[in-house]
Chain A
């Protein structure tokens, strides 16, 4: 442990010169906040906390410092945030300080025009599959507050290459890291095929919903084949259907959803 942290002593020394604080008194040098974040948090919250699988952290989320420390210490199990590991109080303190520094920044600026994006959303009939503020179809995920949860880069990928999105179970009924909206093809013993997304699954059964919204429940032993298709999405790619400018506008609209204007 001593060896691990010695590499940061130099950084801490520089920092203590700049800030004039006695960093040597803390067990964890303050510069380790970013290092801890990169190791423990960025896989879900994105580099510099811009948001990815988990919400962006570049705007204040926790009510106060105590709430932030509690979230870092314990996670939010009911919303899919694990306690990655137990931390000592000095570790929690430097990590909380780093997260607070992210929150002091501004939300990302996006190139597109949100109003034009809204018009595109209507023209492309995205509402046939998605709900915004109570209106729309429910085949795909609700987007009312998608701007809080996802970064612009993530939203762009959702439009251009949706199959490659990491969309693991934090909201769906299945949770525990299972892929949400996983496309599945089931071939029944009579040869007919059902395609839809997985709603739920256990060791013996699987439940699907197809594009018409119809629910299917199969015992796996009663069908010929269950083909789960990670890397594919029920949503079509708009890569070749939108210009670069249109994509920017649509990203700007989606990123505005649920965020203070």
Chain B
């Protein structure tokens, strides 16, 4: 298996090294699944399965996994990057908004680029992080906490163009890895805790000109605007701060949206608050919304739906279906028909106390009395959710959906908020009910039904993504710094190592010179592992 994979890889490498004009043309990203030595998008390829077809490291030999090289940050910060690897070069981002290119064989830096970030940069709602780059043709693309999108020459790190996505003084900033499509780069924005109006935007990859911008809150007169009472829509948040997925065959882009604002006081924004806490299916040429599905109407617990929408196909009741699955921050797992937006199935995959279930259309059936109060109200899941930005994985081998699941509550408080541009607009908050009462688990859910197949319990709820591989493995990390591999079939632990710092990142895998590697940031260090 692995030999066959690497012969394809070698051919591609030779092709790429043979003076081809564009390093990573669009068609190569479309075919990324066939060239697993590369890792060409944030989640590996457009379907966001975070599945590596490499199998050299497998359940029989993973116990011998060893560090191959490490790379350390030059300044401390929360290190959430997923590396992109193409043609022997690894592109990473460092907090808050630096881009670096590393030699994949040694970890030695080839170039580093740091944008100018004003001292008074406004980052409200998350740590000042960056989750990675996009690559297309000869350029890599990165967002910054100053609200910019920048195109860099992939060989030198020289700036080709730089645009302001939106005004940081109003609270807009970027933490996500952009998604490169055919001739376009797509980004979303952070800032719902500062009263922004969220949007998704596409830029011409060659020039940086904006091709389209689609607001995640409808404008006056547009359908859905009526779901924002009391004239609250223009500062309603609904940010778009995590990378979406793309189906080239359907030519549809899938992008998730965050919480409405202010987060914890829904009284000032009566209604469903479309399109917050939703997935949008977009025409990538125009930005037109083909359909939407809202997971948490009128959210008051900061349960952004900024999770990874995972695309896969399967047969349900004898019918082949094109599906989109999400393990949502609100503790429910959803399967949606990605052609039509129709709800297929859904059920809780973690403890939750706010809904009696989902109705036939996937809308939550609310239990009364779970809104935040001035004195505090305990609700499961936690403010950071059962899931968050960190990635799940879907293995086409096992047809299981793997999710780092946080089992934890919060006490939710309602406060007051007055909107002032560039200041927090949250109207409350929450405290974690943590310690020995909380825990986490890697859960393996049947992809099409969401039923639990196995779980592997972990000590502490963290922010740790998973990756499955053709070697029959699931890699994951812990808040305490363990990096580990489980048997993808049954969750049995096969290997682990303490890396000395919390893991707040997603594993990825790549190959070079016939050898498979697995990479994970932990603490302030990027670790790369291989067999001896």
Contacts and interface: CB of A to CB of B under 8 A. Distances in A.
B167 interface: no
Contacts of A36: 374
Contact of B413 (A2, A40, A168): A40
19 contacts: A1-B417, A2-B267, A5-B416, A39-B376, A84-B413, A84-B429, A85-B415, A85-B426, A86-B193, A86-B429, A88-B417, A88-B418, A176-B435, A178-B436, A202-B482, A202-B498, A203-B458, A204-B498, A221-B493
Contacts of A86: 193, 415, 424, 426, 428-429
Contact of A88 (B415, B435, B484): B415
A85 B429 contact: yes
Contacts of B171: none
B375 A230 contact: no
A35 B434 CA distance: 24
B435 A1 contact: no
A85 B430 contact: yes
Contacts of A38: 375
B418 A27 contact: yes
A179 B436 contact: yes
A215 B293 CA distance: 54
A84 B416 CA distance: 14
Contacts of A176: 434-435, 460, 479
Q: What are the 10 A-B residue pairs with the smallest beta carbon separation, nearest first? A: A85-B429, A177-B435, A202-B480, A177-B434, A39-B375, A203-B459, A203-B458, A178-B435, A86-B424, A203-B478
A90 B482 CA distance: 43
Contacts of A27: 416, 418
Interface in A73-93: 82-88, 90-91
B408 to A, nearest CB: 10
Contact of B431 (A84, A178, A179, A201): A84
Interface string A80-121: 001111111011000000000000000000000000000000
Contact of A4 (B374, B424, B436): B374
Given A35-B374, A38-B375, A230-B436, A3 B424 contact: no
A38 B411 CA distance: 13
B414 interface: yes
A259 interface: no
Contacts of A2: 267
Contacts of B375: 35, 38-39
Contacts of A178: 434-436
B141 to A, nearest CB: 32
A1 B493 contact: no
Contact of A91 (B264, B415, B460): B415
B482 A204 contact: yes
Interface in B424-468: 424, 426-436, 438, 457-460
B426 A1 contact: no
B453 to A, nearest CB: 20
Contacts of A228: 436
Contacts, number: 99
Interface residues of B, number: 41
Contacts of B480: 201-203
Interface of B: 193, 264-265, 267-268, 373-376, 413-418, 424, 426-436, 438, 457-460, 478-482, 484, 493, 496, 498
Nearest to A32: B374
Residue from B374, B426, B482 whose CB has the most chain A CB atoms within 10 Å: B374
A3 B481 CA distance: 46
A230 to B, nearest CB: 6
Contacts of B193: 86
B495 to A, nearest CB: 10
A202 B416 contact: no
A72 interface: no
A216 B438 CA distance: 24
A182 interface: yes
A169 interface: yes
B459 A1 contact: no
A35 B414 CA distance: 12
Interface string A224-254: 0000101000000000000000000000000
A148 interface: no
Contacts of A35: 374-375
Contacts of A201: 459, 480
B413 A28 contact: no
Interface residues of A, number: 36
Nearest to B376: A39
Contacts of B478: 202-203
Contacts of B493: 204, 221
A1 B416 contact: yes
Nearest to B430: A85
Contacts of B457: 203
A38 B375 CA distance: 7
A7 to B, nearest CB: 10
B234 to A, nearest CB: 18
B284 to A, nearest CB: 36
Nearest to B418: A88
Contacts of A230: 436
Contacts of A84: 413, 429-431
B460 A39 contact: no
B458 A179 contact: no
A88 B429 CA distance: 12
Contacts of A5: 416
B419 to A, nearest CB: 11
Given A177-B432, A228-B436, A202 B481 contact: yes
A90 B417 CA distance: 10
A100 to B, nearest CB: 20
Contacts of A202: 459, 478, 480-482, 498
A92 B427 CA distance: 13
A84 B374 CA distance: 12
Given A85-B426, A90-B416, 16 more contacts: A1-B267, A27-B416, A39-B375, A88-B417, A169-B435, A176-B435, A177-B433, A177-B434, A178-B434, A178-B435, A179-B436, A202-B481, A203-B478, A203-B484, A204-B493, A228-B436
A226 to B, nearest CB: 11
A169 B427 CA distance: 28
A68 B424 CA distance: 20
Nearest to A27: B416
Nearest to B427: A1
B53 to A, nearest CB: 28
A28 B414 CA distance: 13
B267 to A, nearest CB: 5
Nearest to B461: A176
Contacts of B434: 176-178
A204 to B, nearest CB: 5
B3 to A, nearest CB: 33
Most buried by B among A4, A90, A182, A203: A203
A177 B481 CA distance: 18
A4 B374 CA distance: 8
Interface in A14-37: 27-28, 35-36
